[in-house]
Amino acid sequence: MNAANYLYVSALLFTIGAVGVVVRRNAIVVFMCVELMLNAANLAFVTFSRINGNLDGQVVAFFTMVVAACEVVVGLAIIVTIYRSRRSASVDDASLLKR
């Protein structure tokens, strides 16, 4: 199968994730969209690794996974804390920096 198809999938996933981040209000959904973008990037890395015939892309993909895991830990903690104090997980509600 043509390797370019994987890149198209990756681009599609990234676009879905990016649009989700911009248009959705729920913090959890926004978060999942971020994960989607990261995984789209991972897919691209692995594809390039395959195309170039070396392991560099796969190694970076592992790093991305580690970073994503860390991010989930911190991000979820923040979302939970915000939800506890404001009874809402909407990202638009938490626009206090402006004031």
Partner 1 sequence: MLINNSLVYLIALPLAGAAILLLAGRRSDKWGHILATLLSAASFIVGLLQLSQMLARPTGQRAVEQKLFEWISVGTFKVDAGLMLDQLSICFVLLITGVGTLIHIYSISYMSHDHDRRRFFAYLNLFIAAMLLLVLGNSYLNLYVGWEGVGLASYLLIGFWNQKPAYATASKKAFIMNRVGDMGLSFAIMIAFASLGTFSFAGIKEAAPHASTASLTAIGIMLLVAATGKSAQFPLQAWLGDAMAGPTPVSALIHAATMVTAGVYLITRSNFIFDAAPTAQLLVIIVGAVTLLFGAVIGTAKDDIKKALAASTMSQIGYMILGAGLGPVGYAFAIMHLLTHGFFKAGMFLGAGSVMHGMDDEVNMRKYGNLRKFMPITFVTFGLGYLAILGVPPFAGFYSKDKIIETAFNAGGTRGLLIGSAALLGAGLTAFYMTRVMILTFTGAPRWDEKAHPHESPILMWLPMAILAIGSVSSGFLLSRGNALVNWLAPLFAEHAEKAAVLKPVVVTSLALLMVVIGVVIAFMKYSRGEVSSVAPEDVSALTKIVRRDLLQDDFNEAVFMRTGQGITNTLVKTDELVIDGLVRGVGSAALGSAGALRKSQTGFVRSYAAWILLGAVVLVAAIWLVTQ
Q: Which is nearer to partner 1, 23 or 72 (CB)?
A: 23
Closest CA to 71 of 49, 45, 38, 98: 38
The token pair at 62 is 């592992």
Give the x/- contact pattern for partner 1 in 73-92, rule: CB under 8 A.
Answer: ------------------xx
What's phi and psi for 18, nearest 5 deg? Answer: -65, -45
Residues in 34-63 at the binding interface with partner 1, rule: CB under 8 A: none
> Which value, to the nearest 10 degrees, does the dihedral of the CA atoms of residues 58, 65, 45, 60 take?
-50
- Bridge partners (DSSP) of residue 26 are 90
- Whichever of 8 and 62 has its CB closer to partner 1, that residue is 8
Residue of 8, 25, 54, 78 interacting with partner 1 (CB under 8 A): 25
Total residues contacting partner 1 by CB under 8 A comes to 14
Other CB atoms within a 10 A radius of the CB of residue 31 amount to 21
Q: Which of 22, 66, 69, 74 binds partner 1 (CB under 8 A)?
A: 22
Rule CB under 8 A: which residues touch partner 1? Answer: 18, 21-23, 25, 30, 91-92, 94-99
